Amino acid sequence: MAVPEAALREAAKKARAVLVPEMNAGQLSLEVERILGRQRVYGIHRYDGEPITPAEIAERAETLAKKGTTT
């Protein structure tokens, strides 16, 4: 998988955290961690065939914001 590294770095430049929802065991998260650094990347992973809901993404983002991105 080719990840546009420069574009990802630019998009995440001011972010305290980057949330990566993906329908697998975390392959994309690992690539984002390699580019941005592990301490700012958080994933939501599902591999049971059920979609990740917008509510699950929002809940995880809110949790990260409230806890200062330490979870």
Residue 35 one-letter amino acid: I
pTM: 0.83
Tokens representing 3 are: 């990840």
Element (H, E) at 14: none
Q: Where are the domains of the chain?
A: 5-66
pLDDT tens, position by position, 17-69: 999 999 999 999 999 999 999 889 999 999 999 999 999 999 999 999 988 75
